[in-house]
A = this chain, B = another copy of it.
């Protein structure tokens, strides 16, 4: 397989670099990297239309290339594939992200959006996150992924899998759960301050509350399981389409 790696923590982030090294040493796949030149967390699915995209090229050895891009994670995937930077990949892996991408927070996630962009372009994709902001040992997560890759790809022909791995030592992982996306609810989301000029401003922060539903990704991670969530790319509410067609037929017809 030819695998394209991307992320939202930036080209030089330890998560993607560890993943590259482990996949190179433990599998026979060809691997390219097209990733943002710097930190792009919480950029969601934004793309760059009104500024040009610059790139820095790295030689990864052999035929494979690495590119650091001045845009967003979704720009990277689009430019890699639609701009022809690399050969069309068989799989995209976005990550390994430092920090969780769970529940409704996937909408804000550059990591998940880059994987989603792959799926929109017809390429199966994995978004992979280590669910801690300070546990920096990506090696067990990368090794898990390398070991499971053929199994996952065999069953994921065209979709997006959102994988969150406990940000803890391997010995504390309790297994794997296939989950749905939970609802990420935060308390005290904004902190209000006044600057030395008297202007009010806000920091967006907040504390994630516990998810009480038993079958969600948020809950699986709370309980130290690896969470795997199959995702789709169609935001149409099909039941809504049907009922609105009825409403229009009866009220407007």
* Residues on A facing B (Cβ under 8 Å): 39, 41-50, 52-55, 74-75, 78-79, 82-83, 104, 106-108, 113, 116-117, 120, 151, 155, 159-160, 176, 178-181, 186, 189-190, 192-193, 199-206, 228-238, 240-241, 243-245, 247-248, 251-252
On whether the beta carbons of B46 and A241 are closer than 8 Å, the reply is no
Nearest CB of B to A59, in Å: 16
The 9 closest A-B pairs by CB, nearest first: A230-B240, A44-B45, A83-B190, A44-B44, A232-B237, A44-B46, A82-B189, A230-B237, A52-B201
Nearest CB of B to A56, in Å: 9
Give the chain B neighbours of A49 by CB distance below 8 A: 41-42, 204-205
Most buried by B among A44, A50, A189, A248: A44
Nearest CB of B to A182, in Å: 9
Give the chain B neighbours of A160 by CB distance below 8 A: 237
Nearest CB of B to A250, in Å: 11
Given A82-B206, A151-B251, A180-B241, 6 extra CB contacts under 8 A = A54-B199, A78-B190, A79-B202, A104-B233, A180-B236, A231-B237
Nearest CB of B to A207, in Å: 12
A132–B160 alpha-carbon span in the complex (Å): 32
On whether the beta carbons of A83 and B238 are closer than 8 Å, the reply is no
Give the chain B neighbours of A45 by CB distance below 8 A: 44-46, 107-108, 113
Task: Determine the residue in chain B with the shortest Cβ distance to A104.
Answer: B120
Give the chain B neighbours of A41 by CB distance below 8 A: 49-50
Task: Determine the residue in chain B with the shortest Cβ distance to A244.
Answer: B178
A247–B161 alpha-carbon span in the complex (Å): 14
Nearest CB of B to A51, in Å: 9
Give the chain B neighbours of A43 by CB distance below 8 A: 44, 46
On whether the beta carbons of A190 and B235 are closer than 8 Å, the reply is no
A159–B238 alpha-carbon span in the complex (Å): 12
Task: Determine the residue in chain B with the shortest Cβ distance to A183.
Answer: B120
On whether the beta carbons of B74 and A247 are closer than 8 Å, the reply is no
8 Å CB contact of A54 from B201, B240, B247: B201
Known: A155-B247, A248-B176. A234 touches B203 (CB 8 A): no
A17–B52 alpha-carbon span in the complex (Å): 30
A39–B50 alpha-carbon span in the complex (Å): 11
Known: A151-B251, A200-B55, A231-B235. A44 touches B176 (CB 8 A): no
